[in-house]
Amino acid sequence: MAENIVSHKSWYDQTYKYQLILSVIVLAFALGYLAFFYSANGDIIHKDISLTGGTTITVSGANSPEEIQNALRTRFPDVTARSISNIRTGEQIGFFVESTASADELKSALEEILGFKLTQENSSIEFTGSALSSSFYQQLSLAVLIAFVGMGLVVFVIFKTPFRSLSIIAAGFADIVMTLALVDFIGMQISLAGIVALLMLIGYAVDTDMLLTTRVLRGEGPINTRIWGAFKTGITMTLTAIVAIGVSLFFVYGNSETLRQMFTILLIGLGFDIFNTWVTNATLLKWYAEARHLAQ
C-alpha cells in the first residue's frame, strides 16, 4: 500500500485536488444545516435544562421511564425521562424526569402518575433558574471561542506563516461545525457536559493536524512519503482514542447521561477529524508544498 501511495503520478497524485471538492461540499452542507437550524430554533444547538433552566426530579424505583414520559407529555411537551441503572449489574434502580416546568408543577403531576407522594426518602428535586443556566451557557460558549482562538495563536507562533496556520484552524473549525450539525440532526439535547466535550474535541483535532503539518513541511523525502508516515502515526492515535472512548461508552450507556453524551460527541468528532485531517488538510498541505516546490 505504501508503494502505491508514494509512486510517481499515482492515483493519489492525480486525484488529490478533487478530494477537496468533497470537503467543501460536506462543510457547506453542515454550515447550511446549522443556519437552517438556527433560523428554526433561535440557537445552533438543542439545549437541555442545565442550559435553559428547569426542574430535574430523581425517583427511586423500577417504573418505566417511557411510560412516565408519555404520561407527562400531555401536560409538559418538553419533558424527558431516563432510567438510572446499577453500573455493575445494569439493573434499573430509579429514573429521572426533566422539564422547564416549575418544581411544584412537575412534582404534582408526577405524584398523580406514580400514585404516591414524593419525599426526601424516595426522591430528590433540583431546580435551576433560567438566568443562571443562560449565564453558564454564555460562559461556556465564550470558553470554546477563547480555546479556538488560543489554539490558532499557538499554531501561528509555531509555523509563522498564515497558510500553514489557517489549514490547521480550518480543519479544527470543520470538525466542530460538522459535529454540531450531526448532533443537531440526531436530536441530541446538549448539556454542560456536551459543551465540555466540544472543548476536548478542539484538543483532539489539533493533535493530528499539527503532526501532519510538521511532517509535511519540515520532513525529508518525497511529499507522499511524508504524508504516509504522518498518516500511520496519526491514524493510530485517533483509532486508539476511538476504541478507548467506544469501550467507555459501552459500559456507561444507560447509566450516566452525562458521560454518554460526552463520549458520543467525542466519537462523532473524532470520526470527522479523520476526514478533515487526512482528506482536507492533507490535500491543502500537499498542494501548498508542491506550489512552493517543497515536494521532492
d(CA 93, CA 85): 5
> Do 2-47+131-291 and 54-128 come out as alike in CATH topology?
no
Confidence of residue 7 (pLDDT cuts 50, 70, 90): very low
CATH topology of domain 54-128: Alpha-Beta Plaits (3.30.70)
pLDDT for the residue numbered 193:
85
**What is residue 221's DSSP assignment?**
S
- Which sequence spans correspond to the domains of the chain? 2-47+131-291, 54-128
Q: Choose between 163 and 80: higher pLDDT.
A: 80
Supply 31's cell numbers. 454550515
- Asked if pLDDT for residue 3 goes beyond 70, the answer is no
- Asked if pLDDT for residue 288 goes beyond 80, the answer is yes
Output phi, psi for 122, to 5 deg.
-115, 5
Encode pLDDT of 152-174 as tens digits.
788 778 777 777 778 888 888 89
Write the CB contacts of 83 (distance below 8 Å, at least 6 apart in sequence): 65, 92, 94, 95, 254
d(CA 125, CA 121): 11
pLDDT for the residue numbered 224:
85
Instruction: Reduce the DSSP state of residue 57 to 3 states and report it.
Output: strand
- Asked if pLDDT for residue 25 goes beyond 90, the answer is yes
Q: Choose between 132 and 202: higher pLDDT.
A: 202
CB 174 within 8 A of CB 272: yes
pLDDT for the residue numbered 85:
74
Supply 275's cell numbers. 476526514
- Asked if pLDDT for residue 195 goes beyond 60, the answer is yes
CA angle 56-195-70, nearest 5°? Answer: 35
pLDDT for the residue numbered 129:
65
pLDDT for the residue numbered 11:
73
CATH of domain 2-47+131-291: 1.20.1640.10
- Asked if pLDDT for residue 62 goes beyond 60, the answer is yes
Nearest to 212 by CA among 185, 232, 241: 232
Q: Choose between 202 and 237: higher pLDDT.
A: 237
pLDDT for the residue numbered 272:
95
Confidence of residue 266 (pLDDT cuts 50, 70, 90): very high
pLDDT for the residue numbered 180:
93
Confidence of residue 6 (pLDDT cuts 50, 70, 90): very low
pLDDT for the residue numbered 136:
67
Encode pLDDT of 218-260 as tens digits.
777 888 888 899 999 999 999 999 999 999 888 876 667 778 8
Side chain identity, residue 265? I
pLDDT for the residue numbered 255:
65
CB 273 within 8 A of CB 204: yes
> For the ranges 128-132, 201-205, 210-214, 279-283, which has the lowest average pLDDT?
128-132
% of residues, the chain, pLDDT over 70: 91
